[in-house]
């Protein structure tokens, strides 16, 4: 059951929004100042230094790069074979007599 909050008659109704605004500002400042300090420190330090890759990871990346290159060459071969086949089929279709 919700109970409506009653204000004593000696407190003017304009005071409630002022008090709410005050406490909201206090909470925003209490949470915002540490966040702003952290962001400022991060900008002052500058970018993070690049991390060195482990030799194992570097080797693995090289193998992946070589595999991707090999796949690209094979895909190009397949595409060339399809173009050649399409060309041959088009030439053969032109040579065959049409049965109308």
Beta carbons of 61 and 53 less than 8 angstroms apart: yes
Same-domain status, 41 and 71:
no
Full residue range of the structural domain in which residue 63 is found:
54-95
Instruction: State residue 49's pLDDT score.
Output: 78
Instruction: State residue 88's pLDDT score.
Output: 94
Instruction: State residue 27's pLDDT score.
Output: 92
Q: Cα 68 to the chain's mean position, in Å?
A: 24
Same-domain status, 39 and 58:
no
Instruction: Classify residue 2: in a domain, yes or no.
Output: no
Smallest CA-to-CA distance from 91 within 83, 39, 2 is with 83
Instruction: State residue 8's pLDDT score.
Output: 55
Instruction: Classify residue 58: in a domain, yes or no.
Output: yes
| Tokens found for residue 32 | 């915002």
Same-domain status, 59 and 91:
yes
Q: How many Cβ atoms are within 10 Å of 42's Cβ, its own excluded?
A: 11
- Can you give the length of the chain in residues? 100
Instruction: Classify residue 63: in a domain, yes or no.
Output: yes
Q: Which of 6, 28, 45 is the last residue of a domain?
A: 45
Instruction: State residue 65's pLDDT score.
Output: 97
Q: Which residues contact 61 (CB under 8 A, 6 or more apart)?
A: 53
Instruction: State residue 64's pLDDT score.
Output: 97
Instruction: Classify residue 3: in a domain, yes or no.
Output: no
Query: Exposed, middle or buried, 94 (CB in 10 Å: 0-12/13-18/19+)?
Result: exposed
pTM: predicted TM-score of the whole model, two decimal places: 0.43
Same-domain status, 62 and 86:
yes
Domain count, the chain: 2
Instruction: State residue 52's pLDDT score.
Output: 85
Q: Which residues contact 53 (CB under 8 A, 6 or more apart)?
A: 61
For the chain (100 residues), the mean pLDDT of every run of 10, in chain order, is 58 85 93 91 82 90 97 97 95 78
């Amino acid at each position: 059951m919700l109970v409506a909050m009653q204000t004593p008659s000696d407190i003017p109704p304009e005071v409630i929004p002022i008090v709410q605004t005050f406490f909201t500002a206090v909470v925003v400042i209490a949470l915002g100042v540490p966040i702003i300090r952290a962001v400022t420190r991060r900008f002052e330090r500058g970018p993070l230094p690049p991390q060195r890759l482990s030799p194992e990871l570097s080797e693995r990346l090289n193998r992946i790069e070589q595999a991707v290159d090999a796949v690209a060459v094979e895909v190009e071969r397949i595409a060339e074979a399809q173009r050649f086949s399409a060309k041959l089929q088009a030439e053969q279709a032109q040579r065959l007599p049409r049965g109308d």
